[in-house]
Amino acid sequence: MGRKVKIVATLGPVSKSREMVCKLIKAGVNVFRLNFSYGTHESHYENFKLIRNCAAELGKEVAVMQDICGPKIRIKGMKESREISKGDRIVMSKKPSGEAFSITYPHIIDQLEKGDEVYFADGTVKAKVEKKTGDKLTLRALTSGQLREGKGVNIPKSGIKMSALTDKDKNDLKFAAQIGIDIVAVSFVETAKDILEARKILTENGSDAWIIAKIERKAAIKNLDEILDVTDGIMVARGDLGVEAGIFSVPGLQKEMIKKANERALPVITATQMLTSMLHSASPTRAEISDIANAVYDGTDAVMLSDETAVGSFPVEAVEVMVKALMDTQNHLPKIREIKPDKTEGFAHAAAEIAGDVPCKAIVSFTTSGYTARQIAKFRPRKPLFAVTFDEKVSHRLALVWGVEKNFCIDLDESENRMMYQFLQKVKKDEPYIVTMGSHAGVKGSTNMVRLLDKAAKEKIFERFGEK
């Protein structure tokens, strides 16, 4: 049984060479994340081409995901780093001067009042507003830590108004559409409108890339159902989510979000600090392995490595550890998830169940958009899932979906037998398969057939097309 849960790895300074990209793909990376908080369009395009070339050379299906930075608030105008002790006075202003520093979105200061809390540097420094004078805030440190230029700022107060897409994000989305990015992760999503706005930009620029909503704000949790109705998947972004909602709330929120996405057959990425110790150590902690396993039990489609593969000392080893943890954990999963299918998922559910009872090599999903493959994956069958598509872009994206072990791209044809013949030419002829297909080839949502492609059925197909 092959690995079911996928691995997303962030490309960075230590991993952007041809040698390292190839090593990471061989180790088990399924999706590469390009972090658009850093770098230029030129550098990202070079990395995009590098990933495509390495994947083609190795014969692997690998997706590329753009992660746009969104309205991440950061410290601005702090000339020197500053060690903060509990009780220290911190001054923040719209314009930096003297001891006062500013932030990248200074208009937020207008929305803060006395008593509001502000978190700096991923929540390591917590402070409370003591006084507001014009454009200046005086805060009192509640914890100790370090402040420096560029460190993140989080404001848990609800009602803070910020668009999820900055001008930079909009330009980055246009660029992603131009080069053919497979998946786009939208940061700091709050409502369904944020996803629809991103999709409009992609569509207008000729892209139908999947959109992943990063859930890291309280408002996104509140509006999760409406976001799930319009997105192609979600990321449980536990870093900023932990700051906004509190670290003790994250495990429960993770389970809730994954469950809801699973019910809709939407892929989920679980991210942040999965193997942080491996930034500087060749071995993980036991707690990290348990965290990875817990995400698998929760139902995640993918797990993500950030700094571990971008700037860490052991990027390949981190991927290898992730593979081992995922493989061992999936041995303890049930043969099929006991979940009631909705009225559109009957054939997908039947295929998953039949594959557990009938000897077969794999479940083969002929899919136009990837939707049927996602539906089958929803039920978590133990047998491998092969996806047969008519669009290379869809084939790339399915690298993110749970259980899709192989992708095949064939020519669209009106004859279902001719399409099956194309598929059979790419695999071993003596192995049986459970096949799902639609009566209207190439039409999304038309799947209405489950078929056993055994030796006798295959012989008829080969005989029809002139092969014995």
Cβ-in-10-Å burial (0-12, 13-18, 19+) of 210 comes to buried
Annotated catalytic residue 272: yes
Examine the residue annotation and report whether 74 is marked as an active-site residue of this protein: yes
Q: Exactly one of 10, 166, 270, 272 is catalytic; name it.
A: 272
**Is the CB of residue 348 less than 8 Å from the CB of residue 235?**
no
Catalytic entry in 4, 6, 16, 33? 33
Residues near 252 by Cβ (< 8 Å), separated by ≥ 6? none
- Whole-angstrom Cα distance, residue 96 to residue 78? 7
- Of 267, 265, 262, 287, give the one whose Cα is nearest residue 276: 287
Catalytically annotated residue among 74, 94, 132, 324: 74
Largest CA distance in the chain: 86
Spatial contact of 316 and 29, defined as CB atoms under 8 Å apart = no
> CA-to-CA distance for 101 and 135, rounded, in angstroms?
12
327-332 CB contacts, 8 Å cutoff, 24+ apart: 327/3, 328/293, 329/292, 329/293, 329/296, 329/297, 330/1, 330/3, 330/4, 330/5, 330/296
Please say whether the beta carbons of 8 and 210 come within 8 A.
Answer: no
Whole-number Å distance between alpha carbons of 171 and 41: 10
Q: How many helices (H) and strands (E) does the chain have?
A: 16, 22
Cβ-based neighbours of 340, under 8 Å, separated by 6 or more = none
Distance CA 140, CA 130 (A): 6
Q: What is the DSSP letter of 153?
A: E
As a whole number of angstroms, the distance between CA 385 and CA 373 comes to 8
Residue 31, Cβ density class (10 Å: 0-12 exposed, 13-18 middle, ≥19 buried): buried
* CA gap 129, 184 in Å, rounded: 36
d(CA 461, CA 468): 9
For the chain, the residue count is 468
CA-angle at 259, arms to 353 and 257, nearest 5°: 155
Q: Taking Cα atoms as reference points, which of 192, 243, 195 lies closest to residue 217?
A: 243
Q: Which residues contact 419 (CB under 8 A, 6 or more apart)?
A: 366, 388, 410, 411, 412, 413, 437, 441
d(CA 370, CA 395): 8
Spatial separation of the C-alpha atoms in residues 402 and 369, rounded to whole Å: 16
Q: Which residues are catalytic?
A: 33, 74, 214, 272
